[in-house]
Every structure is written in C-alpha cells, then in structure tokens.
Chain A
Amino acid sequence: MEEKRLGFWARLAMFFWLPWKILFGPRAAWRVREALRAPEVPEPAALPAPPKPPKPEPKKPSGEEALRLLAILQRDGRLVDFLMEDISAAPDDQVGAAARIVHEGCRKALAQYVTLRPLRPEREGETVTVPDGFDAAEIRLSGNVVGKPPYRGILAHPGWKAVEVRLPEVAPGLDATIVAPAEVEVA
C-alpha cells in the first residue's frame, strides 16, 4: 500500500504552487476546502482481509455424462443388467460366470475412456508418511490420529485418481437417458 504522507520537498513545491491555484481557480479552491473539511481517514490497523469467495453453490448435475458412461458400461460389459438382476437366489458359479462378462467388458471400456492410476505409489501394507499440509481429499486418515502432521501409518488402500477422461463426443440427436435400447430380432 502507498504511503499516505508527503515528503519535505514535495511539501515545499506545493507551498509555492497551491496559493496560485487557489487564487485563480475557483473550482480548485472549492475542492481544497472540501478535502480539508472531510474527516481524516483513520489509518487501517491491519491489511483488510481479501474478499471471501462466495461459497460455491453445489453443482446441479445434468446427468448426461454419467448416463453416457453407464450406457457404455452396459453396452460393453452388461453392468446395468447385472446390477438390476436379483442375485440373492443364484448359485455362486452362475454369479461368477456373469461376473466374468461384466469384468471383461467394463474393464476394457474403462481402459478406453478413463485413465486411472493409484494416488499413492507405495504398495498396500507399506509404511507411509503423511506430510504437513496434506490434501484431505486425497488421503483419508483413520485410527489413532492425534497431534499435528506428519503422521506415520500403514497404507490400507492406495486410492484411485482419474488422470484423463476421454468420453466420446456424441451426435447431438441421441438421447442420453436411453441406457440400452430394446432389442427386437425380426423373424
């Protein structure tokens, strides 16, 4: 912030030109009087806090992209069929056979459209250090968390991060709410 006082030489210069300005400039004279009448600005005690960003409104999802991904997982891996089916009575070997279809197809689709990598390079079970200032979104602590970071602990799950999402561009006319079309075999 700039200094709100003038130095000696600036004051000396002003001492010579200001009287002339007041004498011949009625408008300048009025401005000087108004300025001197105004209450003196109190010096700020500290730097004003930067304006707080407005709290982000929770985003309203359009759902279109989510539905598109769901449609891809259904198309390539029959995921929706699998989830919508009642498996409680099915024997494990049948569930297992179906899981292979879901696994193979969804895995391929996922690899094609989303690049995932673990958040932590260490292997599960290894000791890790959580530094001061860590991102709580990336690391979730549990157990005996007392005092300040750094914390030492065992990596229970390395996490996942989507490094890249490559959802395809889709023709504008297609309806995203159709997750899978009905199929009719014409005889």
Chain B
Amino acid sequence: MSGPSFGIDLGTTNVCLAVARAENEPPATALVPQVVHEGEVAERPLLPSFLYLPGPAELKEGAIALPWDPDRTYVVGAFAREQGARIPSRLVASAKSWLSHAGVDRREAILPWGAPEEVEKVSPVGASARYLAHLREAWDHLHPDLPLAEQDLVLTVPASFDAVARELTVEAARAAGLERLTLLEEPQAALYAWVAAHPDWRKRLSVGDLILVCDIGGGTTDFSLIAVMEEEGALELRRVAVGDHILLGGDNMDLALTYALRARLQEKGQTIDDWQLRALVHSVRQAKEQLFADESLAAAPVVIPGRGSRLIGGTLRTELDRATLESVLLDGFFPRVDADARPETPRRVALTALGLPYAHDPAFTRHLAAFLGRHAASTASLPPGVHAEGRSFLHPTAILFNGGPTKAAPVRARILEVLESWIAAEGGRPPKVLEGGDPDLAVARGAAYYGLVRRGRGVRIRGGSARSYYVGIERAELAVPGVPPRVDAICIAPFGMEEGSEITLSEPLGLWVGEPASFRFFASSSRRDDEVGTAVDPAELEELPPIETTLEGEAGVAVPVRLRARLTEVGTLELFAVDAGGREWRLEFQIER
C-alpha cells in the first residue's frame, strides 16, 4: 500500500479531515468548502457537525447551493449552525451523542429531537453519514484526481463507544460512500499526534510510564490510560483502560458562565430573550478566552447587542470578572476533591424524560477520580511495570491534554494540581505534562498518522477490546409461573481481545431453524479478568441491544451451534452462530425498539 493516509475526526461539534503523506512530514489539516453564510461558500479547516433542514420558503434559491451540488436541500457546516441558532427546531446537533445513546433506535428518523411533524427528520446514523458525505464531496471537489472513497481512511470514535456505537459509525461511513476505513479511539489518536510531532518521543517516555489522555471536547469527555512497556528491547505502547462516555464538555462551561452573568443582569432588572442569550454565550466565551489568555486582566467586558436596529440604546453591558470565572468554571467543573470522590448519581425519579443522557455531575475531577480508581483493583491484567499494589487508584506518570477546553492554561493547571494532590497523598511523584500539539486538530492528524503506522512503519498502540462482552443464556431450570427464567451472562469476548482475532464459545446451544433467535447482550468496561465462558450475573453489567439471527433452512428443526466472536481489523465486533459443518450466521445488533 502507498499513497497518503487520511484521518477523520467525527466530533460531536466539529468534523476535521487530515492527510498524512509521509511519516517524517507532519500530517496536514485539509480545508473543507462549506456554506458559511447565506449564499456564500468558503473553505474552513473545521466542518461544524450541524445539519440544518430548511423549510420550504425560508431561504432564497441558491442560498445553500454548493459548487458540486447547486440543488442541495439541506445544509451541513457553519451556516447550518448559524441558521439553526435562528430556527432551532430544524437543526440537528450532537448527532454523535445520539449515535451512542442506547435509549433510542439509532436507525430511526428521530432528529431533530422533538421537531414538528412537517420537518423531514433523519436518523442519528443518517446525520453522521451526511457529515461524512460532505467531507468526501468537498475533498473530491478540490482533489478530483484523489477520490476520498479510494483512499485509506482512519475514522476516530470515543474510546467509550461500545460495539454497537462502533458498528453504527461504520454503517454511517459506508452510507457516505467511505468503505476503506479503520476505527481508532480518539485518545489514542491524540497520542499518535503527539508522537508524530515528537520524533524523539522515545527519549521523553520510559518503561513503566502510564499516560493519562484527558480529552475534553465541546460536548463529551473521554479518559484513557496508555502504558509504556518494553517489547523485544523497544518501547511499546499499550492502552490499558478507557473511561465511560461522559456527556460533559466545554459547552457546559460556557453555558454555566452565561447563566451566572444572566442572573447578574436580571438582578439589575434587565431581561434577556433567547436571541440575546445566544449573543451572551458568544460574548462570554470571548471574555473567558481573554481572561485565560492574559492573567493580568481582572475582568473582561461582556456586551450583548439588542436585536433591533438601535445598537446604542439596545446594548446591554456587563463584565466577566476573574473571581466569577474561577468560582463558576474552575471550582464548579474542576473542584479540588479527594481521590476517593465519585460522581454524584441523580436521584431516581419515576418519569425520566427521553433525550440525551447528559452527565449529572459537572465535576470533571470526580469523573476522573472514578476512572482512575475503578481499574486499580484488577492488578492481574495490568501490564508489567504498571503498579497498583497498595494504591487506591492508578497513578498516571504523564498526562496528555486534548480538546478545545484544555487550551486554557488555568484549566490544565487545575486538573494537574488535583491529580498531583491525589498522587502525593499516596507518596507518588507528580506526573509530567506531554506538551505540544493542537488540541483542536490533533485527533484528525493523529488518525492520519496512524494510517501510515498501520502499514508497518512507526510505533503502534496496542489495545484490543476496551470492554468485555457477554451473551445472555437462559438457565435450564424448572419453570415457575410468574418468575422469568434466570439468565446467565456468558463472557464471549474478553477485555483486551486483539483486533483480527476470533474466539469460539465451547458450550453448544440449540437454535431453531427458520425463526429468529435473539440473545440478550451485555458489556462491561471494568471486568478485566473474565475469560471466555465465565458466567456473570447480568446485574453487574451494562445491557446493550439484543443480538439476533435467523438460521435458514427447514423450520422446526433444532441445530446445535456455537457462538463465535471476531474483533475485526476495522475495529468492530462481529458475532456468529457456527454449526458443526462450519457454516456461519451473523448475529446482528437489534437496535430497533
């Protein structure tokens, strides 16, 4: 294989495409032509992950025309976000969070969530496919001689994406005409970007180092631990743990600051409508960045224009002072807590509104403590050199920040300070910071670099499956009326299962031919030591959508089959039922509800 390698960061708020042409050359970000204002197409390095579905008369003809498709009926990118701010009911946002949300049918046209009947809705998979299709069309428009569909692609997903979300991501890419792809976890991509930017990385890390990748995006947060090990005399990287999917990010911080300032304006008797609130969010973000960039400033002005043509009389003015910034943002989202702190879980209420499962506890530091603490117990499966004995949590020795919010030096400093205090309390040494890299673009660049690495050049992070997976099998027991039969969860794919490998469950099952056979399906991100065939109480696991298949043939006959799991090179988990003759039936995720 040769030719450039492409990395796509399919983010919750932005999509980014990077190209790596050679290993000694840093991967470059590609420009994406998109509609940026009404009737105006421009090239930008980021494609905002927003889809706008315009109504029949609201835009003039040609307003959303693209150079390669003058008759496009929907908009993706910067103008979708701008127009969606005016008419929110037609805007699809955070499609990626919906893609990983097991509470809804992700192939069903449900977005924009809660939109009126007349809006022609799309599915979470469909929306993601449109972002990727736009990326492909934009690239092909600028580079007709190098069609994206024929290139090697690496598409990043959060480390916390389970088998179903990964499968659906691949489905979206295929729907966008992108078939030649591999999945890569975002925190790993960030580390690859750091490695690509530091040819001397082997001197900066040593055996036994445990790198915490702290990836805080606009809407989601993802933690991963990657260990530095020695293999045949050379340094090796191994991803040892990933965190849960936390719907918490920089947008939450901006909103919190905005509400604090809105309350202040309201105290003065000034009212703020929805339009002004958006202007306030924008102005607050500017003020926050100003204060973070210049430590000597005590306050930064925040102004909100009135909506009417009277700018002077209609403008509201306030300011964001440093004390508010620190109390709301640093103490609110990054409180100084102890290492045994855990996120507060919500009080269960009888009726929970559907919608995205946003994190209830906004404290990143508590989520981090939970992540580091959870994996300390399973010392047996940790690679040599990583010590957990006598420690209540895994001590990272290095930290790599990624994502826009971590560009703020005070945010980085606070996370580091809290982490250092935990480690110091157990007598450890403070972690070093892996500097460098652009937190906005690193994931796409790292993914492009990984595409080259896969061809056999450069270091590769080994990881395998970040979860263990289980199928539910009913226990053969005497039936008791009113008591459902007990279900055992049998481990079918253990933690750390390598890409390209497959495992067959030795216990045979009888399946009826000609009718659908459905299994409950479970996963765990913390049960590292279960082996294939281990039976676990399903209550300890997270339930995923069931898996099902239909064995073709003469109905009414039971056939003995074994279950087989395969972790593909692409990065998806495939499950099969295999009969004695070696015939395979694929078990599909049954996400329809």
Contact = CB atoms under 8 A, between A and B. Distances in A.
Contacts of B39: 170-171, 173-174
Interface string B43-60: 000000000000000001
B62 interface: yes
A124 interface: no
B311 A104 contact: no
Interface stretch (B18-26, B299-307, B414-422): B299-307
A90 B61 CA distance: 41
Contact of A101 (B41, B62, B313, B315): B315
Nearest to A104: B286
Interface in A59-101: 75, 78, 81-82, 84-85, 87, 90, 93-95, 97-98, 100-101
B38 A97 contact: no
B311 A102 contact: yes
Nearest to A80: B309
Interface string A97-119: 11011101000000000000000
A87 B312 contact: yes
Given A168-B41, A173-B61, A174-B62, A90 B312 contact: yes
Q: Pick the most buried of B311, B313, B315, B317: most chain A CB atoms within 10 A of its CB.
A: B311
A169 interface: yes
A85 B286 CA distance: 26
B87 to A, nearest CB: 9
B11 to A, nearest CB: 23
Nearest to B58: A186
Given A81-B309, A85-B310, A168 B42 contact: yes
Interface in B58-88: 60-63, 65
B37 interface: yes
B315 A173 contact: no
Interface string B542-572: 0000000000000000000000000000000
Given A93-B317, A100-B303, A168-B41, A81 B310 contact: yes
B60 A98 contact: no
A75 B317 contact: no
B62 A78 contact: no
Interface string B297-341: 000010101010111110111000000000000000000000000
Given A101-B303, A174-B60, A174-B62, A94 B40 contact: no
A169 B41 CA distance: 7
A95 B316 CA distance: 11
A172 interface: yes
11 contacts: A85-B310, A90-B312, A97-B303, A97-B312, A98-B315, A101-B303, A101-B305, A102-B311, A104-B286, A168-B42, A171-B65
Closest A-B pairs by Cβ, 4 of them: A171-B62, A171-B39, A97-B317, A173-B62
Interface of A: 75, 78, 81-82, 84-85, 87, 90, 93-95, 97-98, 100-102, 104, 168-174, 183, 185
